Amino acid sequence: MKFFFSCDWGTSTFRLRLVDTENERVLSTIKTAYGIATAFECWQQTNLQEESRQAFFETYLLEQVNKITMSFNEPLHDAPIILSGMASSSIGMMELPYKQLPFRCSGADLVVHFVKPLTNNGHKIIIISGASSEVDVLRGEETILAGCDITELDTEQIFIFPGTHSKHIIVENGLVKNITTYMTGELFDLLSNKSILSPSVKKNEEEQTATDPHFIDGVIKGRISNLLNSIFHVRTNQLFKKATAGGNYNYLSGLLIGYELKDIAGTKPSAITLVCGEAIKEVYMQAFNVIGLSDCLRYKNADDALVKGQWAIMRQTGSLT
Looking at residue 37, its pLDDT comes to 97
How do residues 191-207 score in pLDDT, each as one tens digit? 999 999 999 999 988 77
Please give the domain boundaries of the chain with CATH numbers for all domains: 3-151+305-317 (3.30.420.300), 184-301 (3.30.420.310)
Residues whose CB falls within 8 Å of the CB of residue 124, separated by 6 or more in sequence, listed in order: 80, 81, 114, 117, 320
pLDDT at position 208 over 80: no
- Distance (Å, whole) CA 14 – CA 12: 7
Residue 95: how many other CB atoms lie within 10 Å: 12
How do residues 165-182 score in pLDDT, each as one tens digit? 999 999 999 999 999 999
Q: What is the DSSP letter of 277?
A: -
Angle formed by the axes of helices 53-70 and 36-45, nearest 10°: 130
Q: What is the pTM of this model?
A: 0.94
How do residues 11-61 score in pLDDT, each as one tens digit? 999 999 999 999 999 999 999 999 999 999 999 999 999 999 999 999 999
Looking at residue 321, its pLDDT comes to 62
